[in-house]
């Protein structure tokens, strides 16, 4: 596939792909993405009574972990089928269908903003970081995870090999997929 830097094309392909993945995501990727949840929530200082926004919540795995800390999660995702899956799996947690580039919240609303393995799928990651910053209260914390370089990820390597051999699974590729260069993220966060 030819890489593209056309933001609207990236967003469309990502959206279409995630729409198709909602039912199989937890059984396929669930175990892989769970490992980072505790450090992610620790980095964002999520504790009892924190109000926490989970950007790109998918089926709500991180939102559920936020609730386990006696905090209040709200999950957003632009995929309608992911949101339906998140609601089905996590009754009582609030989920909204929304594009992370334009969060449907007033400013200064959240004690923490987290996002697990989403940043590298975004057409305009810096727009989403600006939105995350806007909705954070003063002194609030944001934390994000991305994959490391694939050559350093034994588990991911096995998974990709298996997919290539046996699966018809498809993975969306945002502009930063497989890029974990601290310099890239440092500039973006600034
Ligand atoms: C790799 S999944 C991660 C799901 C979840 N955070 C987890 O850890 O299981 C990426 C999610 O980001 C969502 N996503 C991608 N681009 C988005 C955007 N612009 N706005 C909102 N959600 C987005 C996708 O629909 C998908 O559910």
pLDDT of 109 reads 97
Average pLDDT, the chain: 88
Burial class from Cβ neighbours inside 10 Å (0-12, 13-18, 19+) for residue 63 reads buried
Atom of ligand 1 nearest to the CA of 54: 6
Euclidean distance between CA atoms 122 and 21, whole angstroms:
17
pLDDT of 167 reads 67
Number of domains in the chain: 1
Atom of ligand 1 nearest to the CA of 36: 8
| Residue 142 near ligand 1, beta carbon < 6 Å | no
Evaluate if residue 2 carries a pLDDT over 60: no
Residue 22 domain-assigned (yes or no):
yes
Euclidean distance between CA atoms 85 and 27, whole angstroms:
13
Cα 44 to middle of ligand 1, angstroms = 18
Euclidean distance between CA atoms 49 and 141, whole angstroms:
14
Q: Which token pair is 102?
A: 């334009």
User: Domain of 82?
Assistant: 7-189
| Residue 100 near ligand 1, beta carbon < 6 Å | yes
Residue 2 domain-assigned (yes or no):
no
Atom of ligand 1 nearest to the CA of 22: 27
Evaluate if residue 1 carries a pLDDT over 50: no
Confidence bin at 100 (pLDDT 50/70/90): very high
| Residue 136 near ligand 1, beta carbon < 6 Å | no
User: Which of the two residues, 12 and 77, has the higher pLDDT score?
Assistant: 77
Cα 57 to middle of ligand 1, angstroms = 6
Q: Which residue has the CA at smallest separation from atom 26 of ligand 1?
A: 58
| Global confidence as pTM | 0.90
Give residue-wise pLDDT tens across range 119-154: 988 988 889 999 999 999 999 999 999 887 767 777
Residue 1 domain-assigned (yes or no):
no
Domain containing residue 141: CATH number: 3.40.50.150
Q: Which residue has the CA at smallest separation from atom 4 of ligand 1?
A: 58
Q: Which residue has the CA at smallest separation from atom 11 of ligand 1?
A: 56
Q: CA-CA distances (angstroms) from residue 17 to 13, 81, 169?
A: 6, 11, 10
Q: What is the 3-state secondary structure (H, E, C) of the chain?
A: CCCCCCHHHHHHHHHHHHHHHCCCHHHHCHHHHHCCHHHHHHHCCCCCCCEEEEECCCCCHHHHHHHHCCCEEEEEECCHHHHHHHHHHCCCCEEEECCCCCCCCCCCCEEEEEEECCHHHCCCHHHHHHHHHHHEEEEEEEEEECCCCHHHCHHHHHHHHHHHHHCCCCCCCCCCCCCCCHHHHHHHHC
Q: Are 71 and 48 in contact (CB under 8 A)?
A: yes
| Residue 33 near ligand 1, beta carbon < 6 Å | yes
């Amino acid at each position: 596939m030819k890489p593209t830097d056309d933001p609207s094309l990236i967003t469309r392909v990502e959206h279409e792909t995630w729409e198709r993945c909602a039912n199989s995501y937890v059984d396929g990727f669930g175990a892989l993405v769970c490992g980072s949840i505790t450090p992610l929530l620790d980095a964002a200082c999520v504790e009892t009574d924190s109000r926490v926004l989970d950007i790109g919540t998918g089926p709500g795995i991180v939102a559920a972990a936020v609730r386990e800390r006696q905090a209040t999660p709200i999950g957003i995702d632009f995929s309608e089928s992911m949101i339906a899956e998140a609601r089905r799996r996590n009754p009582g947690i609030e989920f909204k269908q929304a594009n992370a580039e334009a969060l449907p919240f007033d400013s200064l609303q959240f004690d923490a903003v987290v996002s697990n393995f989403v940043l590298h799928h975004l057409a305009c990651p810096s727009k989403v970081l600006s939105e995350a910053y806007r909705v954070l209260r003063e002194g609030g914390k944001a934390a994000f995870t991305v994959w490391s370089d694939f050559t350093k990820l034994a588990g991911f390597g096995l998974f990709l090999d298996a997919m290539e051999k046996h699966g018809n699974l498809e993975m969306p590729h945002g502009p930063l997929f497989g890029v974990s260069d601290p310099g890239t993220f440092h500039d973006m966060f600034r």
